[in-house]
Amino acid sequence: MVKFIYYLFCIGLLVFSCSSSGGDDSPIEEPKDIIPTNLVLQLTITGVDSSNINGDGSGFITCNATAINAVSYGFKVGSDAEVKNTTGTFNYTCANEGLNDYIVTVFAYSSTGNTISDFKKIRVFVAEKGPQLIWSDEFDSTGAPDASKWGYDIGNGNNGWGNGEKQYYTNRTDNVKVENGILKIIAKKETYQGFEYTSTRLLTKGKFDFTYGRIDVRAKLPTGTGTWPAIWMLGANIDTVGWPACGEIDIMEHWGHNPTKISSATHTPSCSGGCPSTSVGETTITNYATEYHVYSLEWTENELSFYIDNVYKYSYKPTVKNSSTWPYYAPQFLILNVAMGGSWFTIDPNFTESIMEIDYIRVYQ
């Protein structure tokens, strides 16, 4: 009997011990760190071939990384900030011109935040970029010129500008429009606002101006005695300092009564037209109205150089540079117009209409 009671006691003790062993005091396993391994970094330079072992000059490189147990990657070029992604692919454009070495560092991250890294050195060639396009109008729309780029002078020289011209400038589509990729400024013989001729004077004043650079204008000029087309610039400070203190740059001027002559000129306080000691760039072009030509200006701190179809024609570089001879240190805006008549020439009485066509305008710095 005593043995039986002792046997039951042992069984009860065993049951109690087993039931209490599943309580809150049991140990909890900590998650194990996951460490990425086998990190591989591959760098590819765009345009590499036997003649260009350091790339095609674009400076474009592609970085590809792989690693076991990695869920994301980080890429760092030189001292630039790290860029993270989950793809393991990273594109980068090297900016320093010439041949330069770059250190590319890659980081592989696991789901537990552990990381490994590696780096490689790469030598990349970046070509000189030269002047960059900062503003242009390709006239690709249809209808009126882009109002974000162009405004208008409305009226006649009686408003305070002009040279005895006979036209009234409007913003009507009868006088200016864009079609088939071409800007057309149309001078017409018609009675309007008390004048016998109409035309348009477009300008970028208050919308775009620049200091130093190159401008290219591809244009076809109007014909007819009395026409006076111009592609030119004025200082953006004209409203405060007046003309000619603001400086004027005539990239292209043409007079219908002297049809084969194309002129370039400057106007400054020291010489604002008709100065005996100042030359004017003048060249002969016979197909000015039937073929497009590119009229260009290169403007630096010390010189204005004029080109037609990229052929040098004329430059202005004063011997003594001061505010009177060189007002070209401040921004200038662009002007396109076709005037009719002037204080020193007349208009053909049989004139009816003529058009200046502009294919594009591009400004570089």
Can you say whether residue 73 is alpha, beta or left, with left for phi > 0 and alpha for psi between -120 and 50 degrees? beta
Is 248 among the catalytic positions? yes
Residue 336: count other Cβ atoms within 10 Å of its Cβ. Answer: 24
Q: Measured between alpha carbons, how far is 282 from 25 in angstroms, rounded to an integer?
A: 102
Residue 59: count other Cβ atoms within 10 Å of its Cβ. Answer: 23
Tokens of 364: 């570089």
Tokens of 360: 């594009």
**Residue from 116, 105, 183, 115 nearest 143 by CA:** 183
Active-site pick, 165, 196, 248, 282: 248
Q: Measured between alpha carbons, how far is 233 from 273 in angstroms, rounded to an integer?
A: 15
Contact 361, 292 (CB under 8 A): no
> Helix (H, G, I), strand (E, B), or coil: what is residue 8?
helix
Active-site pick, 165, 253, 298, 357: 253
**Residue from 38, 34, 55, 37 nearest 46 by CA:** 55
Long-range Cβ contacts of 271-275 (<8 Å, 24+ apart): 272/243, 272/244, 272/248
Residue 118: enclosing H or E segment and its boundaries? strand 115-126
Contact 62, 89 (CB under 8 A): yes
Tokens of 335: 């002007």
Residues in a beta bridge with 252: 231
Q: What are the residues whose beta carbons fall under 8 Å from the beta carbon of 130, sequence distance 6 or more? A: none
In the numeric block, the tokens 């049991």 are attached to 26
Q: Measured between alpha carbons, how far is 256 from 226 in angstroms, rounded to an integer?
A: 5
Is 353 among the catalytic positions? no
**Residue from 239, 158, 223, 166 nearest 199 by CA:** 166
Detail the DSSP E strand segments found in 28-82: 37-45, 60-68, 72-77
Which residues are catalytic, by number? Answer: 248, 253
